[in-house]
Amino acid sequence: MTNQEVKLFGVWESPFSKRVEIALKIKGVEYENVEEDLSNKSPQLLKYNPVHQKVPVLLHNGKPIVESLLILEYIDETWKSGPSILPSDPYERATSRFWANLLDDKLIPAAMKFIKSKGKEQEVIDEICELLSKLENELGDKKFFAGESIGLVDIAANIVALWLDVIQEAVGTKIFTKEAYPKLFKWIDEYMNCSVIKETLPLKADLLVHFAQSGHA
């Protein structure tokens, strides 16, 4: 496909925006990145995502797609030529969607509570640890969640690969360690070594500065 307009409205520090970037790069889709300022959202962002008014928004030939996991499905269904993001088997697809949803519905809200409580609430820590154990168990001895190459869960789990460590460092309470979650840390090594991930995710040091400046830590 040529002559198509693909624009991504996102912010560099958002794991949700980065999910979309990773998927577009995996598929080899050229796109224009539009960096938003969340304290002063652009009229386009508000126009294209009137209900949630959030990044990321993917604009494809004038049509806006919102919510990062839905955008990943859209990308996979639209650009079929590149590697698949979801498996083809319906049961495996349901399983991938289940774990991706668990990250968004459970782990990320728990991480937000962890930040708010400055790492001091044991109940929140227990919740995060339980979720990480479930992920560790689901990963098992596979290279990636999807098997031999990166798929939906791996892309969705970029928060586990990078942001979680930034958060715990910023708040000063370490709970996500190599000793406790050896399989997830092995996965992080493999993941962060992929060229598409390396060139897309921000630097940990930059995220730490951003966290400090935004008053989170």
The amino acid sitting at 4 is: Q
Determine which residue in the list 63, 118, 120, 198 makes contact with its own copies, applying CB under 8 A: 63
**Shortest separation between residue 94's beta carbon and its own copies, angstroms:** 5
**Are the beta carbons of 119 and 173 closer than 8 angstroms?**
yes
Per-residue DSSP letter, 144: B
**Are the beta carbons of 136 and 183 closer than 8 angstroms?**
yes
**Are the beta carbons of 93 and 145 closer than 8 angstroms?**
no
Per-residue DSSP letter, 147: B
Using the rule CB under 8 A, is 98 a contact of its own copies? yes
Determine which residue in the list 21, 67, 127, 154 makes contact with its own copies, applying CB under 8 A: 67
Task: Classify 74 as helix, strand or coil.
Answer: helix
E strands, 67-105, where? none
Q: Closest CB to its own copies among 26 and 201? A: 26
**Shortest separation between residue 79's beta carbon and its own copies, angstroms:** 10
Q: Nearest CA to 29 among 49, 8, 50?
A: 8
Using the rule CB under 8 A, is 214 a contact of its own copies? no
Report the chain's terminal Cα–Cα distance, integer Å: 45
Determine which residue in the list 25, 113, 134, 183 makes contact with its own copies, applying CB under 8 A: 134
Count of residues of this chain found to bind its own copies when the rule CB under 8 A is applied: 21
Using the rule CB under 8 A, is 101 a contact of its own copies? yes
How far is residue 167's CA from residue 196's CA, in Å, rounded to a whole number? 23
Q: Closest CB to its own copies among 73 and 154? A: 73
Using the rule CB under 8 A, is 70 a contact of its own copies? yes
Determine which residue in the list 78, 84, 117, 173 makes contact with its own copies, applying CB under 8 A: 78
Residues in contact with its own copies by CB under 8 A are 51, 60, 63, 65-67, 70-71, 73-74, 77-78, 90-91, 93-94, 97-98, 101-102, 134
